[in-house]
């Protein structure tokens, strides 16, 4: 019984294999589909009345890729590299059977075809692709810790040459219809309504059931291996660049380039076998598990609002109010207008409000220059943003987001003015990064409608929004906040109220550890480079400059004032205090901080740091610096989990990766603990607590988990 492919044969002897997985919004290469495809290929090959076949999709896209839910648990199930190799060989053999069965196969690519979906297209003899803007081809496997496992590293280079194929394989570069045509990946592009007719025309007129690499005398475009000087140089340079980019934390890119190099100097069948061997090693490893789980499965669930309270009617924001037109407010205005909302951008001075709108105009001008937008579309978006100084203009807003200065008094004042004009059922959200939502909600007459929506800068680029639940926040407020986040196409995490919430609190431990090490006499270049070697996007000193030292100083002083005698200043705070209050080095925006920012030149570490904090004679090993940065963040996340700041390990991992750039190879902060092993993690924290201070101290709760061997993620 075939449940995933509708098989029909017309009067001309052309079979159509319509792929349509029941109960799924998109087709994915699951075990059932692969089995059904194998059965259909056999039908085509053995039926004398069938002269050729068309592969098509019954959904709006072709095939979104492999079903990662079948792969993500491989490591936890104890899957061996040999078993992973077997999975790849099975799918690869089905596609190879299609390719060599003696009957021509054409494919009608009506939309997105990624990963295994693209590999299936490459195995067909003729490819016609929709000219729809959302139709794309790509091999994104490296981005989730894998490599193509069904011929992608072998067929694509043989089709277009390694120079053109490597960016698609190693960088996950997506190909739009015209790009795919020009590259030679598809044979023609056409409107969706004509795809089947075009494919059938080829099958009836010029069928050729032999792939180029199976034809006698085939030669790799541009050459292959060491026999081609140009190609050999590509691999030498490429391998060196990959090592620098990945710092050997990500095995997939090196495996991919190795599979291409080794496989393409051999016959296609040997190359496919080589590819499967590398795939097996990766899919059975912990890095692929971490990346698939956090970057795909858990992020996908978050995007679908897995944390949304049930029983609340779905909502959409049509009119949004934003208080404060600084960089954050301006960014929120842009992404909201882009999502089709009318935006009221309010500030104390009309010049400031207009400047906030100009932020969107600048972004749109860049998009027009790059061909991503048009003058008409840009103007339509700008018309959605209304700069003002009048609170009365907020009337009718379903949601208002406050993004004013981090002062409790200022926030209380704008809350009162706003609630005087907005509807009774409107939601009020604060974009504060540190001030507790429950405390801010005390200024509201409707604390049940008060939540936190913590955006990250720059808003147009950063994918995460942290929704903070106050003590009195209602399920309706939470649900409507999540609906808005989904509406602007961001990824939400839900955290409970506490000082610093989750992301700001844990992010601060990394920057504090960097400042502490500097104060100890550790070379600042060592601190910065160790962070990048671990996979962090930038070092803790550089990122402190980015967010500004002044902001960190003011936030710390505000929390100290709120907590009084109970507050303990962070270990590295004296460094920040000295730079901000004594040396007027407040960060990048001010032109100087830990780094110097000469105009038109590359930034460099301020030489004066050596005088302030002389280097100690014996510097620590790089790994020790890495461990201090990584373990400190993971430990603080565990403390947040223990305190109930977040209820789900997946939210902690997603927040750490997409909020402040914790290395994706780890899967996130709590996945990092599971990866190194909770017992080893606790032992290392004990060692560092003795060496560096109580900030590394382990709670009884975490120690008990370690003794039980209890992981944060279910195995």
Expressed in percent and rounded to 5, the helix, strand and coil fractions of the chain are 55, 10, 35
- Which region, left, alpha or beta, applies to residue 317 given φ > 0 means left and ψ of -120 to 50 means alpha? beta
- Stated as kind and residue range, the H or E segment containing 323 is strand 319-323
* Token pair in block for residue 452: 């936190």
Q: Starting at the earlier edge strand, list the strands of the sheet with 385-388.
A: 385-388, 342-346, 319-323, 399-402, 427-430, 450-455, 464-469, 491-496
Q: Quick check: 337 and 384 in contact, CB under 8 A?
A: yes
Separation between Cα atoms, residue 473 and residue 1, nearest integer Å: 51
Q: Which of 304, 297, 309 is closest to 668 using CA atoms? A: 297
Task: Give phi and psi for 57, each to the nearest 5.
Answer: -120, 140
Separation between Cα atoms, residue 377 and residue 360, nearest integer Å: 12
* Token pair in block for residue 675: 């990866």
Separation between Cα atoms, residue 260 and residue 166, nearest integer Å: 8
Report the DSSP beta bridge partners of residue 393: none
Separation between Cα atoms, residue 197 and residue 189, nearest integer Å: 12
Q: Which of 454, 648, 680, 713 is catalytic?
A: 454
Strands 595-596 and 604-605: antiparallel
Evaluated on CA atoms 278, 280, 285, 290, the torsion sign reads: positive
Residue 174: partners with Cβ closer than 8 Å, 6 or more residues away: 114, 136, 137, 138, 140
Omega cis (within 30) before 445: no
Residue 296: partners with Cβ closer than 8 Å, 6 or more residues away: 68, 72, 144
Find the DSSP H helices in 370-497. Answer: 375-382, 408-419, 437-440, 475-487
Evaluated on CA atoms 454, 456, 458, 463, the torsion sign reads: negative
Active site residue 208: no
Task: Give phi and psi for 221, each to the nearest 5.
Answer: -60, 120
Q: Which of 147, 139, 122 is closest to 64 using CA atoms? A: 139
Q: How many CB atoms lie within 10 A of CB 442?
A: 14
Residue 481: partners with Cβ closer than 8 Å, 6 or more residues away: 399, 427, 429, 451, 453, 467, 492
- Which region, left, alpha or beta, applies to residue 676 given φ > 0 means left and ψ of -120 to 50 means alpha? alpha
Catalytic residue numbers, as ranges: 454
């Amino acid at each position: 019984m075939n449940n995933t492919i509708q098989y029909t044969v017309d009067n001309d002897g052309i079979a159509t294999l319509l792929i349509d997985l029941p109960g799924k919004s998109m087709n994915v290469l699951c075990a059932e589909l692969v089995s059904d495809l194998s059965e259909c290929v056999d039908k085509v090959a053995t039926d004398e009345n069938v002269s050729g076949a068309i592969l098509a999709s019954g959904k709006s896209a072709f095939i979104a890729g492999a079903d990662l839910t079948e792969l993500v648990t491989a490591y936890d199930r104890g899957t061996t590299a040999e078993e992973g190799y077997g999975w790849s060989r099975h799918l690869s053999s089905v596609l190879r059977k299609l390719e060599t069965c003696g009957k021509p196969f054409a494919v009608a690519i009506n939309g997105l075809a990624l990963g295994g979906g693209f590999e299936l297209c490459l195995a067909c003899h003729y490819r016609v692709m929709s000219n729809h803007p959302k139709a794309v081809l790509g091999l994104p496997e490296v981005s989730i810790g894998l490599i193509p496992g069904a011929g992608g590293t072998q067929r694509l280079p043989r089709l277009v040459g390694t120079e053109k194929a490597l960016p698609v394989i190693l960088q996950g570069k997506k190909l739009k219809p015209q790009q795919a045509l020009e590259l030679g990946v598809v044979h023609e592009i056409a409107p969706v309504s004509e795809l089947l007719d075009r494919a059938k025309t080829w099958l009836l007129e010029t069928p050729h059931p032999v792939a180029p690499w199976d034809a006698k005398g085939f030669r790799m475009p541009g050459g292959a291996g060491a026999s081609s000087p140009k190609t050999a140089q590509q691999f030498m340079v490429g391998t060196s660049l990959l090592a620098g980019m990945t710092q050997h934390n990500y095995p997939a890119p090196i495996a991919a380039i190795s599979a291409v190099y080794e496989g393409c100097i051999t016959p296609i069948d040997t190359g496919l076998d080589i590819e499967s061997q590398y795939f097996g090693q990766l899919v059975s490893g912990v890095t692929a598990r971490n990346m698939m789980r956090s970057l795909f499965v858990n992020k996908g669930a978050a995007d679908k609002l897995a944390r949304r309270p049930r029983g609340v009617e779905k909502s959409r924001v049509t009119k949004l109010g934003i208080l404060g037109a600084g960089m954050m407010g301006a960014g929120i205005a842009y992404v909201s207008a882009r999502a089709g909302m009318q935006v009221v951008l309010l500030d104390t001075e009309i010049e400031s409000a207009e400047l906030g709108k100009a932020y969107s105009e600048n972004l749109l001008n860049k998009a027009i220059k790059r061909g991503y937008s048009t003058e008409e579309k840009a103007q339509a978006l700008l018309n959605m943003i209304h700069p003002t100084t009048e609170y009365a203009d907020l009337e009718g807003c379903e949601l208002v987001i406050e993004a004013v200065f981090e002062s409790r008094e200022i926030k209380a004042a704008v809350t009162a003015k706003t609630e005087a004009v907005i509807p009774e059922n409107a939601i009020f959200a604060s974009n504060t990064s540190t001030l507790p939502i429950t405390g801010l909600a005390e200024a509201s007459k409707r604390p049940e409608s008060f939540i936190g929506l913590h955006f990250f800068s720059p808003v147009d680029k950063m994918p995460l929004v942290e929704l903070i639940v106050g003590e009195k926040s209602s399920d309706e407020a939470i649900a409507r906040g999540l609906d808005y986040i989904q509406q602007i196409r961001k990824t939400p995490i839900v955290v409970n109220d506490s000082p610093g919430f989750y992301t700001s609190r844990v992010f601060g431990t990394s920057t504090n550890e960097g400042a502490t090490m500097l104060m100890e006499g550790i070379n600042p270049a060592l601190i910065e480079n160790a962070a990048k070697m671990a996979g962090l996007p930038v070092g803790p000193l550089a990122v402190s400059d980015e967010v500004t030292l002044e902001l960190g100083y003011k936030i710390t002083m505000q929390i100290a004032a709120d907590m009084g005698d109970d507050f303990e200043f962070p270990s590295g705070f004296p460094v920040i205090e000295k730079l901000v209050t004594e040396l007027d080095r407040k960060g990048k925006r001010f032109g100087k901080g830990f780094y110097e920012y000469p105009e038109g030149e590359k930034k460099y570490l301020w030489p004066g740091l050596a005088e302030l904090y002389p280097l100690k004679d014996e510097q620590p090993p790089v790994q020790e610096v890495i461990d201090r940065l990584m373990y400190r963040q993971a430990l603080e996340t565990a403390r947040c989990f223990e305190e109930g700041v977040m209820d789900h390990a997946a939210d902690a991992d997603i927040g750490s990766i997409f909020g402040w750039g914790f290395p994706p190879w780890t899967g996130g902060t709590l996945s990092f603990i599971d990866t190194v092993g909770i017992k080893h993690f606790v032992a290392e924290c004990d060692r560092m607590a003795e060496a560096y201070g109580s900030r590394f101290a382990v709670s009884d709760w975490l120690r008990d988990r370690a003794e039980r061997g209890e992981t944060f993620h279910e195995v």
